Amino acid sequence: MGSSNTVFYCQGSWTQLENTRLQQTLASIKPQSSQPLIIDGSQLKALDSAGALLLSNFAKHWESRGYEVQWSGFSETHQDVFSLIKQYRAESLPSSSSQSLNTLQLLGMRSVRLAAQLLAYLSFVGIICYEFLGWCKAPLKIRFRSISHNIQTTGTNAIFIVALLSFLIGVVLAYQVGVQLRNYGANIFVVDFLGIAILREFGPMITAIIIAGRTGSSYAAQIGTMKLTEEVAAIQTMGLSPVEVLVLPRITALLIALPLLVILSEVLGLIGGMMMAKAMLSLSFNDFMHRFRYAIDLKTFLIGLVKVPVFALLIASIGTFQGFQVRDSAASVGEHTTISVVQGIFMIIVTDAAFSILFSKLGL
């Protein structure tokens, strides 16, 4: 960079590779006092975002010291790079005006944002339903290979963690309840508690929560990364629907895999409870199974299982929706992946509570 009075000429390549040298050059520049500072880019050969950020910070530094900074000689391409830097700063910096808002105003703003996100999610669900009808009208469009792959990643690969946690939950439940029942000589009723609790509530809900943390987050991260690498845009360019290609196979796979995982979870939970009951309450396996046959009917199992498809739809739709909400940065992928897990677990618990109230009203 050369200088003439208060005009500074940018020469050569202002890129990431020259970052260290350029920083040293800018640090050595001392403009004359009370004179406008003109930055001339007519002799620039190359400029990337790193060089533009250096120049932008340099100009901002001297503006804060009372100098008037003027830009001259930059091509339209270079001006577009500076506009991109300016736009990024405007989006990334927090608004100072929000600091002056009172609590009620902040609550209103967040409510509006939440309502907008809810409407966007409902619109996304509508698109899913529309694309699913397209599959029903033309079954040859169903992507069986993609569904099979997603069943393996969401179902087969999750067997170990689901089985282990379910077994331990059964052990914990049997221990906590067995301690109390033993005081009253009602050891046998631990079977009733384990059967009802695991088949109706803990089996479906715990499995859904595990899958929301494991699979829902992966859906958001995968689709979010595809947005950053413009694979989603490429799918649209080829005339295909991203929802039909990316979302429907994942939802279908989870609708198949989650009920099977829930059944596995319930079996392992009962086995864990059975082993703890034998160790702590001296309740033999034969006595446990004999009581289980008469205390627990098929209705209890079906009531727990009927909730599972709803959980699967919530996990898959929330995960994929948050993936499509990713914008322009890797940090956005992490943010929306976290949101997908939080929202998925929240909706699972709310939905389970709603089912409990509904079954209570129906006398089930």
Tell me the average pLDDT across 217-233.
87
Q: Residue 1 pLDDT > 50, yes or no? A: no
What's the token pair of residue 337? 């992946």
Domains observed in the chain? 2-93 (3.30.750.24), 143-362 (no CATH)
Min mean pLDDT across 252-266, 278-292, 310-324 is at 278-292
Q: Residue 30 pLDDT > 80, yes or no? A: no
Residue 194's contacts (CB-CB under 8 Å, 6 or more residues apart) are 170, 173, 174, 177, 269, 270, 273, 274, 277
Distance CA 357, CA 363 (A): 10
Distance CA 3, CA 9 (A): 6
Min mean pLDDT across 76-90, 116-130, 321-335 is at 76-90
Say what percent of the chain tops pLDDT 70.
91
Q: Residue 27 pLDDT > 60, yes or no? A: yes
Residue 113's contacts (CB-CB under 8 Å, 6 or more residues apart) are none
pTM of the model: 0.69
Distance CA 227, CA 240 (A): 15
The per-residue pLDDT for range 149-197, each reduced to its tens digit, is: 999 988 889 899 999 999 999 999 999 888 888 888 788 888 888 988 9
pLDDT confidence of residue 207: 93
The per-residue pLDDT for range 90-147, each reduced to its tens digit, is: 555 444 444 566 788 788 888 888 888 889 889 889 989 988 898 888 888 888 898 9
Higher-pLDDT residue of 38, 232: 232
Tell me the average pLDDT across 39-59.
77
Higher-pLDDT residue of 82, 210: 210
In the predicted model, what is the mean pLDDT of the chain? 83
Q: Residue 277 pLDDT > 60, yes or no? A: yes
List Cα–Cα distances, 279 to 57, 171, 177, 187, 276, in angstroms: 70, 10, 14, 12, 5
Query: 43 falls in which pLDDT band (50, 70, 90)?
Result: confident
List Cα–Cα distances, 357 to 54, 153, 210, 306, 350, in angstroms: 60, 34, 23, 14, 11
Of 326, 313, 103, 312, give the one whose Cα is nearest residue 222. Answer: 326
Higher-pLDDT residue of 120, 72: 120
Higher-pLDDT residue of 168, 24: 168
Half-sphere exposure of residue 27, counting CA atoms within 13 Å on the CB side? Answer: 6
3-class SS of residue 239: coil
Q: In this structure, are residues 223 and 246 in contact, taking their beta carbons and an 8 Å threshold?
A: yes
Q: Residue 283 pLDDT > 60, yes or no? A: yes
pLDDT confidence of residue 90: 55
Q: Residue 70 pLDDT > 50, yes or no? A: yes
Query: 33 falls in which pLDDT band (50, 70, 90)?
Result: low
Tell me the average pLDDT across 340-350.
92
pLDDT confidence of residue 88: 67
pLDDT confidence of residue 350: 93
pLDDT confidence of residue 98: 43
pLDDT confidence of residue 345: 93
Distance CA 44, CA 24 (A): 18
